[in-house]
């Protein structure tokens, strides 16, 4: 009896640590699609189409789990979170600790022309005004997209927030926070970026670029930033992560 209670407790704790990363709309669609797929699988098994039927039941079960728990293993692996973004939006979040004071890291990031030095998908960032800038990104197969951005918050040494303006190919917004790291280890840099890839034929190129911007890519970008600021060797940083 005690063993059973212990196992149940472990199972409960395991579920409690499962992070919800699927938005409400997707969860509803997963439940509906999973139920329909499972029923179709049962129907196929009843007609002795065992292989296809069992495959549909398994796929339906995965969708039902996704809808019921709000957790997607693939999303977790690539760092996608659709809970805190608009429908069809992608949220990417990463943290890195850099051995320099917050104001110094902030000043480097605040010079937006520095961003392409460590953010691989950016071809250029041009400052066009006190709070405005023009960005150009490149993606798979040499695809490119451009947009204008406006700074929403600029607190020296603490935070920078921006969002795209006008008819951006990939509407987006982002925040970078600079906080003192525990133990006088420098600065904890937290980057949160939300992308809203467009749909339809006209948005395919932009969407392909956006889908290439995942948590792994951002992590590599921040490793390059750390290398540049701590060692001052951009080429070494590129060799380290590529």
Structural contact between residues 214 and 140, judged by C-beta atoms closer than 8 angstroms: no
- Residues of the chain above pLDDT 90, percent: 38
| 64 vs 18, more confident | 64
Highest mean pLDDT (candidates 71-75, 117-121, 135-139, 192-196): 117-121
Nearest to 151 by CA among 124, 116, 111: 111
CA distance 51 to 62: 17
Query: What pTM, to 2 d.p., does this model score?
Result: 0.59
Give the mean pLDDT of 25-43: 81
CA distance 242 to 228: 15
Nearby residues of 78 by Cβ (< 8 Å), 6 or more positions away: 214, 215, 216
Query: What is the model's pLDDT at position 196?
Result: 78
- Summary mean pLDDT of the chain: 79
């Amino acid at each position: 009896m005690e063993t059973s209670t212990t196992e149940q407790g472990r199972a409960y704790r395991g579920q409690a640590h499962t992070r919800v990363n699927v938005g409400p709309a997707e969860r509803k669609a997963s439940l509906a699609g999973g139920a329909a797929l499972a029923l179709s699988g049962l129907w196929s098994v009843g007609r002795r189409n065992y292989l296809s039927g069992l495959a549909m039941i398994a796929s339906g079960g995965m969708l039902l789990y996704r809808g019921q728990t709000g957790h997607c293993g693939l999303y977790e692996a690539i760092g996608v979170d659709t809970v805190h973004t608009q429908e069809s939006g992608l949220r990417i979040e990463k943290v890195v600790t850099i051995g320099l004071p917050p104001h110094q890291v902030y000043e480097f990031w605040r010079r937006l022309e520095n961003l392409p030095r460590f953010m691989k998908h950016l071809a250029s960032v041009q400052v066009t005004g006190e709070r405005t800038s023009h960005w150009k990104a490149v993606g798979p197969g040499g695809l490119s997209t451009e947009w204008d951005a406006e700074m929403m918050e600029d607190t020296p040494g603490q935070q920078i927030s921006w969002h795209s303006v006008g008819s951006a190919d990939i509407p987006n917004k982002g925040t970078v926070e600079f906080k003192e790291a525990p133990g006088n280890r420098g600065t904890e840099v937290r980057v949160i970026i939300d992308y809203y890839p467009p749909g339809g034929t006209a948005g395919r190129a932009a969407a392909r670029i956006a889908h290439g911007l995942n948590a792994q890519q951002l992590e590599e970008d921040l490793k390059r930033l750390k290398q540049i600021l701590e060692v001052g060797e951009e080429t070494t940083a590129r060799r380290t992560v590529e």
